[in-house]
Amino acid sequence: MGTQLSPHFNEDEFRCRHCGQLPAEGMAPELITKLEVVRAMVGKPLIITSGYRCPTHNKAVGGAAKSQHVLGTAADISARGIGVDELARAAERVGFGGVGLYHRQHFVHVDVRPGRARW
Ligand SMILES: [Zn+2]
Ligand SMILES: [Zn+2]
């Protein structure tokens, strides 16, 4: 059982799907704090479909070489009964650096990069 990072998120939810690793420095605290706010806004548990990705896994899933997932600063999220647009609006209000909408796969990518990226 992994360490509880915040009231609603456990580090196990963010482990690399391929090897179970976490970043050496752990997940970025700012990411977890902001995810808690999104959860409170939508009023539903967030499902973390991708958190940390080790470089090997990131390459395998076709992630960008400098993917925020490799840095432990990103998560792909969904929530039962909440649309991608609604989830993205919440993420926008919380002030994530990066927000990416994936309508077809039904998730929203969020990250705490310095600066702003939207897709
Ligand atoms: Zn891995
Ligand atoms: Zn992502």
Distance 115 CA to ligand 2 centre (A): 16
Please write the tens of the pLDDT for every residue from 33-84: 999 999 999 999 999 999 999 999 999 999 888 899 999 999 999 999 999 9
Phi-psi region of 72 (alpha: psi -120 to 50; beta: other; left: phi over 0): left
Distance 3 CA to ligand 2 centre (A): 22
- The mean pLDDT of the chain is 97
Please write the tens of the pLDDT for every residue from 86-105: 999 999 999 999 999 999 99
Half-sphere exposure of 45 (CA within 13 A, CB side): 8
Residues labelled catalytic: 106
Q: Residue 115 has what pLDDT?
A: 95
Q: Residue 29 has what pLDDT?
A: 98
Distance 60 CA to ligand 1 centre (A): 10
Domains observed in the chain: 4-118 (3.30.1380.10)
Ligand nearest to the CA of 53: 1
Q: Angle at Cα 71 formed by Cα 57 and Cα 33, nearest 5°? A: 120
